[in-house]
Amino acid sequence: GTIVRSARDIRSERARHLGPNLSLSYRAPLKIVRGEAQFLYSDSGDAYLDMVNNVCHVGHCHPRVVKAATSQLPVLNTNTRYLHDNIVNYARELLSTFPEPLEVCFFVNSGSEANDLALRLAQNYTGSRDMLVVDHAYHGNLTSLIDLSPYKFNRKGGKGRPEHVRVCPMPDGYRGPVKASDPDCGDKYADMAIRELRALEQAGGKPCAFIAESLLGCGGQIVLPQGYLPKIYQAVRASGGLCIADEVQVGFGRIGEHMWGFEQQGVVPDIVTLGKPIANGHPMGAVVTTRAVADAFVTGMEYFNTFGGNPVSCAIGLEVLQVVRDERLQNNARRVGERMMQGLRRMVDNHPLIGEVRGMGLFIGVELVQDHDTLEPATLEAGKLVNLMKECGILLSTDGPLDNVVKIKPPICFSADDAERFLREFDRCLALVEQE
């Protein structure tokens, strides 16, 4: 049987046997032994409201998803070189959630694999490899994607910007040079991106693709200003490049208003990448694209992926889509997210630390600042707050370039009662941090 170890023993075993650059959440890391819906349970039996995990999308260990896996596992799991119902049934259902002309999918095993394949598709289609990315973005852990992730290459341990990559400023209407109150905010940030495109062309390059998350995660839970993607997409396409939407964090109904984040901008990307929530924690990813882009990838070299699109993964993926629909979880994300944002915005007057509350649906960020004019980040306070909230049984994390944004991205079965409880505790813990 399994050896049950103390938290301290597990830490020393990790140190001894695992790659050393793994981090742990919280000052006193938790040993979590069980999950159910929006709750996690520690070894001492304490329940924690999980507001971090955007992977267990429809809830930890959702019984229908578990059943989909445990029904298929004892029957068959193979690669895609035999005919099987699951892959086509799932492809059909997944594609039905996308607008035309997005009609072809590829199945992989992670968000990173999805983005790497998107990159290969774009390179084949355009014959180029010059990329435009958004500052502070993270697109995955593969070599090709560290190259596209300022969040990695411009931080500690990074090797700086690769030559084939241009970085567009983050369209941050709070901290960036153009504020959200400017009616041309989206337009002006798009112009800054187009300036990078022109610089690339002047240097003799040709764009392969512009890649952006549809709402910015590692950038600090930022909603793109209206008009931002349409203007960039038009310019990039006019220069022969493709447009890739990374929906790894924000897809599958999380933003409430829409199934996909790019819909909020009124654009249709050439390639969309999916991961995290796609199979509720089972390792899976997908790339969705147009017939033209998919056909250009037919070069004579097969694209083979041993695990991608296997019958178990497809059974799980299909069930996740059906649970989102049957339990009206996208609508839940919209309703509960709105309630939470309203509650947070009502706190602004009583809490000097709150600089901005932003987001859509159950993808929300609360940026903490020392000073509302200088926007001096309250990074230490954000860390304290998250650790205090954890002591109250609520799990949160921080992110953003200055690590001062409290991230809210719970499983989307998160309820109105959970939101009330969160608001109450957040109000109380924030006051405690402010008193210090």
Q: How far is the CB of 283 from ligand PMP (least distance, A)?
A: 8
Three-state DSSP class for residue 253: coil
Buried residues in 330-368 as b, exposed as e (16+ CB within 10 A): bebbbbbbbebbebbeebeeebebbbbbbbbbbbbbbbb
- If the CB atoms of residues 151 and 426 are measured against ligand PMP, the closer one turns out to be 151
Q: How far is the CB of 111 from ligand PMP (least distance, A)?
A: 2
Task: Determine which helix (DSSP H) or strand (DSSP E) holds 429, and give its type and residue range.
Answer: helix 416-435
Phi, psi of 37 (to 5 degrees): 50, -120
- If the CB atoms of residues 135 and 418 are measured against ligand PMP, the closer one turns out to be 135
- If the CB atoms of residues 114 and 369 are measured against ligand PMP, the closer one turns out to be 114
- If the CB atoms of residues 213 and 367 are measured against ligand PMP, the closer one turns out to be 213
Task: Determine which helix (DSSP H) or strand (DSSP E) holds 146, and give its type and residue range.
Answer: helix 143-146
Q: How far is the CB of 274 from ligand PMP (least distance, A)?
A: 10
- If the CB atoms of residues 249 and 313 are measured against ligand PMP, the closer one turns out to be 249
Q: How far is the CB of 270 from ligand PMP (least distance, A)?
A: 17
- If the CB atoms of residues 37 and 146 are measured against ligand PMP, the closer one turns out to be 146
C-alpha radius of gyration, the chain, whole number? 22
Query: Crossing angle of helices 329-347/416-435, nearest 10°?
Result: 30
Cβ–Cβ < 8 Å for 343, 354: no
Neighbours of 13 (CB within 10 A): 12
Measured CA to CA, the distance from residue 210 to residue 419 in angstroms comes to 36
Q: Which amino acid is it at 354?
A: I
Q: How far is the CB of 430 from ligand PMP (least distance, A)?
A: 26
Measured CA to CA, the distance from residue 275 to residue 280 in angstroms comes to 9
- If the CB atoms of residues 116 and 270 are measured against ligand PMP, the closer one turns out to be 116
Cβ–Cβ < 8 Å for 42, 32: yes
The alpha carbon of residue 102 and the mean position of all alpha carbons in its chain are separated, in whole angstroms, by 20
Residue at shortest CB range from ligand PMP: 111
Q: Which amino acid is it at 122?
A: A
In order, the DSSP letters of 7-56 are HHHHHHHHHHHS-S----SSSS---EEEEEBTEEEETT--EEEE-S-SSS
SS (H, E, C) 337-367: HHHHHHHHHHHHHHCCCEEEEEEECCEEEEE
- If the CB atoms of residues 215 and 353 are measured against ligand PMP, the closer one turns out to be 215
Edge-to-edge strands of the sheet including 285-290? 102-108, 285-290, 271-274, 242-246, 207-213, 130-134, 165-168
- If the CB atoms of residues 152 and 188 are measured against ligand PMP, the closer one turns out to be 152
Can you give the binding site for ligand PMP, defined by CB under 6 A? 110-112, 115, 138-141, 213, 217, 246, 248-249, 275
Q: How far is the CB of 138 from ligand PMP (least distance, A)?
A: 5
- If the CB atoms of residues 353 and 406 are measured against ligand PMP, the closer one turns out to be 406
- If the CB atoms of residues 115 and 126 are measured against ligand PMP, the closer one turns out to be 115
Q: How far is the CB of 145 from ligand PMP (least distance, A)?
A: 7
Q: How far is the CB of 245 from ligand PMP (least distance, A)?
A: 10
Q: What is the dihedral of CA 62, 68, 69, 75, to 10 degrees?
A: 160
Q: How far is the CB of 220 from ligand PMP (least distance, A)?
A: 13
Q: How far is the CB of 142 from ligand PMP (least distance, A)?
A: 8
Task: Determine which helix (DSSP H) or strand (DSSP E) holds 242, and give its type and residue range.
Answer: strand 242-246
Q: How far is the CB of 9 from ligand PMP (least distance, A)?
A: 28
- If the CB atoms of residues 63 and 162 are measured against ligand PMP, the closer one turns out to be 162
Q: How far is the CB of 217 from ligand PMP (least distance, A)?
A: 5
